[in-house]
Structure 1
């Protein structure tokens, strides 16, 4: 259970969409680049609805067995242990599949029957079909265009969800987020947001990912705790973004100029 309300600044009608999707038992897909608040939004809404939240961070080795469950040896017995998906289906929890496009294809196959009118999970190892609890909700997130389309969701999968698009917030809101998250001075927060805006427009550097709100929050935390401003920006923004020496020097020059 998310016992404390996470700070979240609504920029659209995300909460309304979530609540209506929840009431109508419709899966929800969150699209957007890393660090734009997708996971924070899910935590915020889990707290708002009072629902248990189970989060799975998907990667290339995540399989349907990891989600559904497996037999394990316990003493002299072989016992079945439910995975996070089965647990959420039985108990009526929110299951959040973070970066679902990174998972193996069999994961998508496993959740198909939960994303339409059936709302049921077939566990082949048990020969059992589990009807989803009425409070079960499936949420997935992914980063469209990540690594130039290397990992994408098929249209047949995407059309099983209603979707929300997450983008970097406008400057005023992003400044408020930095101040609320870190306690940093508002003028410094404005400078960091301005740096973020400049870097996001530097497409000529060929960065695979641009600066996220999360990175700006990290820089603000370091500054607020007493680390010099330029050094904070270099280690929290420049170094995580690129290993290319020329790109890093360009980013450092930009930050030095603006700080």
Structure 2
């Protein structure tokens, strides 16, 4: 274990549990992520949208003092989006082909953290290129340049998935087996209250309590299958709290949460719950 990560592990609570850090009711989520990354393991964060996966990755980057190279996967993510691309450049009137490294190679060569968001949105045929960087080899044979790249010791990988969403595909076992998996649930109760105070512009204590109750009620509806998971997104709730500083809270809920949903019955369900809290 490298010295930097030993030092990070010794003061993780002081550094991250506080202003603008990752907050969760279960403190072992952060602890386990720190341990895994300190041991050179890859981390896969599973959880619904807006549950704090990216916030945890950013907090780990800050904790270890390592910049983070990010990839936001989609159905169009290909090898070039991960590794880089070739382009023609001009030098003293002469043209030459130059390789521009992408986030994966940048992270490997600089010893940064690599964050792969929504990794299960990428095409299955694209992801096997990552296998050799995710196991003990920590190397890559770049198919675009024929160069073999060995990652620096501080290199680490964090990935995130939202399971069951449109456009996602299950990760194959060979890839999933290369990760330590940490499940990130929605925050609730006192932890959510602290998140709202920390992340939003809202400082009205009574209204903050009402939004915490709204989140709990929405989550009950999500678990019952009445509304989709994105309706209970903490990210959407923070946006709504910001809006509520400048408009009526019920209107803020409509703009920040219900109007994002596709079906009218889902929108109505959210507004019915909100109307009982914000009269």
TM above 0.5, yes or no, is yes
Query: Aligned-pair RMSD on alpha carbons?
Result: 1.9
**Cα–Cα, structure 1 residues 85 and 217, in superposed 2: closer, same or farther, change >3 Å?**
same
1:220 aligns with 2:241: yes
**What do the CA deviations read for 1:101-160 (whole angstroms, capped 9, x no partner)?**
00122332111001111111110222221111101001110012224x952212221111
Structure-2-length-normalised TM-score: 0.85
Assess if the C-alpha contact under 8 Å between 1:7 and 1:181 holds in 2.
no
Query: Aligned equivalents of 2:110 and 2:125: distance in 1?
Result: 23
**Cα–Cα, structure 1 residues 209 and 182, in superposed 2: closer, same or farther, change >3 Å?**
closer
2:208 corresponds to which of 171, 184, 189? 189
1:97 aligns with 2:116: yes
**Cα–Cα, structure 1 residues 68 and 251, in superposed 2: closer, same or farther, change >3 Å?**
same
- What SS is found at the alignment partner of 1:152? coil
Offset, 1:77: 1.3
Query: Aligned equivalents of 1:49 and 1:55: distance in 2?
Result: 16
1:161 aligns with 2:161: no
Match of 1:47 in 2: 62
TM alignment of 1:1-259, pairs within 5 A: 6-10=20-24, 11-75=26-90, 76-147=95-166, 150-184=168-202, 185-202=204-221, 203-207=224-228, 209-224=230-245, 226-240=246-260, 242-259=261-278
Gapped runs of 5+ residues in structure 1?
Answer: none
Assess if the C-alpha contact under 8 Å between 1:68 and 1:85 holds in 2.
yes
**Cα–Cα, structure 1 residues 191 and 208, in superposed 2: closer, same or farther, change >3 Å?**
closer
Q: How many residues are treated as equivalent by the alignment?
A: 253
**What do the CA deviations read for 1:72-113 (whole angstroms, capped 9, x no partner)?**
011211111111101111110001000000012233211100
**What do the CA deviations read for 1:29-63 (whole angstroms, capped 9, x no partner)?**
00000001110111111111110111111111011
Assess if the C-alpha contact under 8 Å between 1:31 and 1:144 holds in 2.
yes
Query: Aligned equivalents of 2:105 and 2:62: distance in 1?
Result: 21
Assess if the C-alpha contact under 8 Å between 1:26 and 1:161 holds in 2.
yes
**Off by >6 Å, runs of 4+ in structure 1:** none
